[in-house]
Amino acid sequence: GAVVSQHPSWVICKSGTSVKIECRSLDFQATTMFWYRQFPKQSLMLMATSNEGSKATYEQGVEKDKFLINHASLTLSTLTVTSAHPEDSSFYICSAARGTGSYEQYFGPGTRLTVT
Amino acid sequence: AQSVTQPDIHITVSEGASLELRCNYSYGATPYLFWYVQSPGQGLQLLLKYFSGDTLVQGIKGFEAEFKRSQSSFNLRKPSVHWSDAAEYFCAVVLFNTNAGKSTFGDGTTLTVKP
């Protein structure tokens, strides 16, 4: 149990376009989901915390208008990179916490975004 | 400042040798502690976690970790490394009373296994 999927696993888009990444908890309800960004050979950087039915909480330095996060249901959160630029190219990973007050999170397989 | 430190950026061990990856944290209180492993281009897999109780915790794939409060450490160990253990290893902490699951990660340690 506790499987998290991401779609797509990789995507290439042109500069100026928007791309949406989905994060789904397949066999549990996730009140809270997290979005991370990871550059090559680097650690995970938390971008935002997504709570079902409310606005996401963004980390300092993350542009809210550029990285739109929606957590419309207990099993789905989406990250939309708007007006993407080459510097947005990265590996995006989501995770989900099972239930309220859970301190353990389950990670998706990641999405590789390349902006040309 | 609150932080998680993995002092070793890269470690190389021979197959069959023992392994220890270091993790230190700097927080006012004892956080929840985790070790994850990441293969290239993949997500993170939880190896083990410490919330409370016995300070020596067993995880998957033959890994174990020991929490030492006096040293603010949570080092990962394996008695005999296999070639398939080559990967990136991350230590992470979650502070009590923060957003559920909000983690801070160390910079990671790359493990190379020599045949």
- What's the pLDDT at B30? 72
- What's the pLDDT at A54? 84
* Cα(A35)–Cα(A92) distance, integer angstroms: 7
Q: What angle do CA B67, B102, B86 make, to 5 degrees?
A: 60
Of A105 and B96, which is predicted with more confidence? A105
What is the average per-residue pLDDT within A51-65?
Answer: 90
Which of B43, B49, B106 shows the shortest C-beta gap to A110?
A: B43
- What's the pLDDT at B96? 64
Q: Which strand (E) or helix (H) includes residue A78? A: strand A76-81
* Cα(A47)–Cα(A72) distance, integer angstroms: 18
- Contact present, A13 and A112 (Cβ < 8 Å): no
A32: which 2 tokens? Answer: 């809270």
Of A72 and B79, which is predicted with more confidence? B79
Question: Is the link from the previous residue into A8 a cis peptide, with omega within 30 of 0?
Answer: yes
A19: which 2 tokens? Answer: 């791309």
What is the average per-residue pLDDT within A37-58?
Answer: 89
- What's the pLDDT at B101? 63
Beta bridge partners of A12: A114
pLDDT tens-digit map of A61-96 = 999 999 999 988 889 999 999 999 999 999 999 999
Cα radius of gyration rounded to whole Å, chain B: 14
pLDDT for B94 beyond 90 = no
* Cα(A12)–Cα(B30) distance, integer angstroms: 42
Binary contact (A44, B105; C-beta < 8 A)? yes
Question: Mean pLDDT of all residues in chain A?
Answer: 91
Question: Mean pLDDT of all residues in chain B?
Answer: 91
Mutate which of A9, A44, A58 to disrupt the B interface (most B C-beta within 10 Å)? A44
Taking the Cβ of residue A60 and every Cβ of chain B, the question of whether any pair is shorter than 8 Å is answered with no
Which of B41, B46, B101 shows the shortest C-beta gap to A34?
A: B101
* Cα(A36)–Cα(A21) distance, integer angstroms: 12
Map residue B65 onto helix, strand or coil.
strand
Residue carrying structure tokens 């957590």: A71
Residue carrying structure tokens 């002092």: B7
Residue count of chain B: 115
- What's the pLDDT at B100? 57
pLDDT for B1 beyond 80 = no
Beta bridge partners of B91: B35
A95: which 2 tokens? Answer: 């995770």
The shortest C-alpha distance from B10 to chain A (Å) reads 11
Binary contact (B43, A107; C-beta < 8 A)? yes
- What's the pLDDT at A75? 93
